[in-house]
């Protein structure tokens, strides 16, 4: 149970528990920044016109290509 809750997922992406926590918290901080920019953009459309989408694209790139080891492809259907 402890392994399932704390260690299985970080291990599956090639990280220790602490490395994974640090990465997740850095993503959270960037997502808060993107959300803040989007809230301001909603009120003032002339500002932060691309900030939210740029941050999301950067995070996606970091998550996919920055991985130490690719995730195994999971097939959730059968033919």
Give the whole-number percent of the chain exceeding pLDDT 70. 82
Q: Which residues of the chain have pLDDT under 50?
A: 75
d(CA 62, CA 51) in angstroms, rounded, equals 16
SS3 of 33, please? helix
Give the whole-number percent of the chain exceeding pLDDT 90. 71
The predicted pLDDT at position 75 comes to: 47
């Amino acid at each position: 149970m402890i392994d399932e809750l704390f260690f299985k997922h970080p291990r599956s992406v090639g990280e220790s528990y602490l490395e994974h926590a640090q990465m997740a918290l850095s993503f959270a901080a960037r997502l808060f920044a993107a959300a803040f920019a989007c809230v301001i953009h909603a009120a003032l459309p002339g500002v932060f016109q691309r900030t939210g989408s740029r941050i999301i694209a950067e995070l996606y790139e970091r998550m996919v290509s920055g991985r130490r080891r690719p995730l195994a492809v999971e097939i959730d259907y059968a033919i």
